[in-house]
Amino acid sequence: MTFDAHAGADYTIWLRLKADANSKWNDSVWVQFSDALVDGVGKYQIGSGNGLLVNLATDANATNLNGWGWQNTAYWFTQATTVRFAANGPHTMRVQVREDGVAIDQIVLSPNQYLSSSPGPTGGDATIVIKPLTDVVTYGTDVTTLNGTWTRVADATAAGSSRLSTSDAGVSNTSAALASPVDYFDVTVQAQAGMDYTVWLRLQAEANSKWNDSVWVQFADAFVSGAPAYQIGTTDGLLVNLATDFNATNLNAWGWQNTEYWFAQATTVRFATTGSHTIRVQVREDGVSLDQIVLSPSRYLTSPPGPTGGDGTIVPKP
């Protein structure tokens, strides 16, 4: 299986196994990785004869075997069960049969909650570990189609070294979002039903001017308090204005924002279905640039990824 992990973090592995007929002859597997490290050295490598032996029984008599149970080692010798990875991104885990008659339903690699203790007991277990909610992170480089005045500009300070920008032509700001805009882009994201997601954008105003610092954000199917909100195809939009006061004292290159300072708006939305959802960003004031959009159900639910000015934060994709 393929999974994502962060470089340099400790991850402890746990498997939930079940032995056919609760027999100690049916309770073990080998686990390998494409690129795991232990003490800085490659360990349990796919393509080698080295593997992590995971044996559900905790003693020679297999007294603990009783349906499902969690395990990450074998009782008769010492093995490292915590690994690291040298690079961020996708990694591969391989599970091989050691004794046939074994079943498996969950694999957990934990850098925090289960780093030093298992999700459940070694027998009679009923634990279904909830998959963690992850932030939805979009870079400007993920946007494939730009409409109207939006262009792609190389920028070493931006995520993916590219920002989306509209040049300052002195166009007046719009008082509301447009149902059929000309200057906009759409991006598709994956989100879960019924969860609170707070939206954050990293913006930059040309010449650090308050006349170049805002956009409208809309969604295909977002809800606030159970009612449709900021819907594409309407004039309802979330106004995101980087300046935090009338004098725009905070404007200094990149900054994070999800609202404006002069009236209250809901910045947390929900979706009725799990799957693909569309976000639309329209120009409100030309001269604005954008490089990241974050929808966060957890880490940034109540606080932004970075400050409103002088920011250098590139939010890693989960």
Contact 106, 15 (CB under 8 A): yes
What class, spelled out in words, does domain 2-110 have in CATH?
mainly beta
User: What confidence score (pLDDT) does residue 267 get?
Assistant: 98
Residue 22 has pLDDT above 80, yes or no: yes
In angstroms, rounded to a whole number, what is the distance separating the alpha carbons of residues 70 and 123? 7
Identify which has the larger pLDDT, 61 or 132.
Answer: 61
Return all residues near 250 (Cβ < 8 A) that are at least 6 apart.
242, 243, 244, 307, 308, 309
Q: What is the mean pLDDT of the chain?
A: 95
Domain extents for the chain?
2-110, 136-296
How confident is the model over 151-208, as pLDDT tens digits?
999 999 999 999 999 999 988 888 999 999 999 999 999 998 888 999 999 999 999 9
The one-letter amino acid code at 297 reads: P
For every residue of 198-262, DSSP letters joined together read EEEEEEEEGGG-GGG-EEEEEESSEEETTEE-SBTTSS--EEEES-SSTT-TT-SSSEEESS-SS
For residue 133, pLDDT over 80 is answered with no
**Whole-angstrom distance, CA of residue 152 vs CA of residue 150:** 7
Q: Give the homologous superfamily in CATH for domain 136-296.
A: Galactose-binding domain-like (2.60.120.260)
Q: Mind listing the pLDDT tens digit for each residue in 50-99? A: 999 999 999 999 999 999 999 999 999 999 999 999 998 789 999 999 99
- Res 117: pLDDT: 96
DSSP string for 4-36: EE-TT--EEEEEEEEEGGG-GGG-EEEEEESSE
Residue 113 has pLDDT above 80, yes or no: yes
User: Are 7 and 87 spatial neighbours (Cβ–Cβ below 8 Å)?
Assistant: yes
Residues 65, 20: Cα–Cα separation, whole Å: 10
2-110 with 136-296: one CATH topology? Answer: yes
